[in-house]
Amino acid sequence: MKPHSNTLIPTRSKIRCAAVIAGCLTLPISVQAETAWNGTVLGFEAQPEGMLGDMLGIRPILENNGFHYNLGYLSESAYNAGGGYNHDKKTAYIDQFSLTFTQDLEMWTGIPDAAIEGNIVNRNHNDNMTTERTQDPRVSFNDIAQESWGGQSITRLGWLTFARSFDDRRLHWRIGMMNKNQDFDQIIPCDFQVLNQCGGKSANSLTWYNWNVHYWGTTVQYKLTPELTLKTGVLEQNPQAPARSHAWSWSTKGSKGVLLPVEAELKTTVNGLPGIYNLGVLFTNAPQQDLSEGKSQSNGATDPEGYDSHDRTWFMYTGFNQQITQRDGDPNRGMSLSYSLGVGDPRSNYIHYSQAASMRYRGLFDARPDDWLGFGVTYIKMSDHYRQNQVNINDFNQVDDYGNALYRPLPGHSVNADFYYQIKVRPWLILQPDLQYWYRPAGIKETQDAWITGLKAIVTF
């Protein structure tokens, strides 16, 4: 899920997680791989100096001994300015502390790129504007107004892995309790506060999880060329991984199968400006419940609570992040465009496909060269199998009135937009107000379109 991103969690416990479809992306552009690659305008900024500086000389001592870390704080607030399912006014607030670290082992062992990598996250205030106000609670949500909401106030181990390189550093290997964000679908930053604008779309597979959730696995990345990297691995598929009991667990209890991801990532330049592109496929042999094909009863009726399952499902994701302008010859200022698409198996994933297009501009104003401006739009199509499941339940309960508490609304598509301006108050302090527009929240046409205002704050220690 990039540090702040989170997985989508169904509100109905009987809807299982799975995958979506995919598409091809072709750009009629000339690729120039020889130009130096600088991803700052794409959103990949270097770690700033922290508020605590060198910590009275402690940080330099640690770094001289190979221990590098980033300690940060993040908060996200959201206010329902208008519309939505519940019009009662509310300000929802969440925050988190995170520690991400790497212990360099190469300097002690001589093993190329050998390192221990770890991540610990403390999340607080289980306060979700989306489920509490914006959308109809009778359907599974397909987006979140505060992307770092994780469903719990909890401290978790995000990952703890060993890594090293082979073959003159062309092959990179990682093993341990890991997270997909260490290797896969990392071409778009997580700067927007709306979840589906935050990073790529692979988390919408609902079979692996973002940032602060760990699961056992091993991965390899191989540089076919300096620009093109092929990635793959084997990871456990464990639907219990996000549970509180698994926060620090080494156990594989609850595992249902394995995940087999394959991704190609191209990091290059186009017309002298940096860009990064990817295409990935995720397979799993873990059983996933079908969303609509209820098991037949002896009387010939269909029981919507009895689901068939599939022993293999898939998800495909792709996207690009490309700088298109440079401001006054400064490689750290200019505009970038990004696009991401996730498509999966509609039989078992209640999100059929989602796509997001975004614009980012770094240094629009000469007086504020480190500030960001961002605008993004997301289109989400819900699964027809999920919609049919809602129909089946309504038929089973013999209700057809949207106002009836037993009625299950019929999801279709939704469109969300997010506009932000990110202010770098200090190198270690960022304030980011944003304005969100939600068209058909959760894909329900009966739900009024919503306006949400937000504020994200980031502190680097």
Asked if residue 45 belongs to a domain, the reply is: no
Residue 400 has pLDDT above 90, yes or no: yes
- Where do we find the tokens 């990091």? 267
Asked if residue 121 belongs to a domain, the reply is: yes
**In percent, how much of the chain has pLDDT > 70?**
89
In this predicted model, which residue has the larger pLDDT, 308 or 378?
378
Q: Of 202, 203, 192, 204, whose CA–CA distance to 358 is shortest?
A: 192
Residue 301 has pLDDT above 70, yes or no: no
Report how far apart, in Å, the C-alpha atoms of 72 and of each of 162, 211, 235, 395 are. 23, 14, 28, 50
- Where do we find the tokens 């969300």? 416
CB neighbour list of residue 211: distance below 8 Å, 6 or more residues apart: 1, 2, 3, 4, 5, 6, 119, 121, 158, 179, 181
Asked if residue 188 belongs to a domain, the reply is: yes
CA 406 remoteness from chain centre: 32
Residue 144 has pLDDT above 90, yes or no: yes
Asked if residue 435 belongs to a domain, the reply is: yes
What CATH number did the domain enclosing 104 receive? 2.40.160.180
Residue 35 has pLDDT above 60, yes or no: no
Asked if residue 73 belongs to a domain, the reply is: yes
pLDDT digits (tens, 9 = 90+) for 80-138: 999 999 999 999 999 999 999 999 999 999 999 999 999 999 999 999 999 999 999 99
- Residue 3: pLDDT band by 50, 70, 90 thresholds? very low
- Domain containing 333 equals 55-460
User: What is the predicted pLDDT for the residue at 404?
Assistant: 96
- Residue 398: pLDDT band by 50, 70, 90 thresholds? very high
Residue 25 has pLDDT above 60, yes or no: no
User: What is the predicted pLDDT for the residue at 307?
Assistant: 58
Average pLDDT, the chain: 90
> What's the whole-number mean pLDDT along residues 201-223?
95
Q: For the chain, what is the domain count?
A: 1
Asked if residue 141 belongs to a domain, the reply is: yes
56, burial (CB in 10 Å: exposed 0-12, middle 13-18, buried 19+):
exposed
User: What is the predicted pLDDT for the residue at 22?
Assistant: 32
pLDDT digits (tens, 9 = 90+) for 344-356: 999 899 999 999 9
| CB 124, CB 94: distance < 8 Å | yes
| CB 398, CB 310: distance < 8 Å | no
Residue 304 has pLDDT above 60, yes or no: no
Residue 241 has pLDDT above 80, yes or no: yes
pLDDT digits (tens, 9 = 90+) for 328-379: 999 999 999 999 999 999 989 999 999 999 999 999 999 999 999 999 999 9
User: What is the predicted pLDDT for the residue at 188?
Assistant: 98
pLDDT digits (tens, 9 = 90+) for 173-196: 999 999 999 999 999 999 999 999
pLDDT digits (tens, 9 = 90+) for 244-299: 999 999 999 999 999 999 999 999 999 999 999 999 999 999 988 888 755 433 33
Residue 1 has pLDDT above 50, yes or no: no
Asked if residue 343 belongs to a domain, the reply is: yes
User: What is the predicted pLDDT for the residue at 297?
Assistant: 38
Residue 23 has pLDDT above 80, yes or no: no
User: What is the predicted pLDDT for the residue at 357?
Assistant: 98
Q: How far, in Å, CA of 361 to CA of 363, rounded? A: 6
Asked if residue 15 belongs to a domain, the reply is: no
* Phi-psi group of 181: left, alpha or beta (phi > 0 → left; psi -120 to 50 → alpha; rest → beta): alpha
User: What is the predicted pLDDT for the residue at 4?
Assistant: 40
Q: How many CB atoms lie within 10 A of CB 345?
A: 24
User: What is the predicted pLDDT for the residue at 152?
Assistant: 86
User: What is the predicted pLDDT for the residue at 150?
Assistant: 83
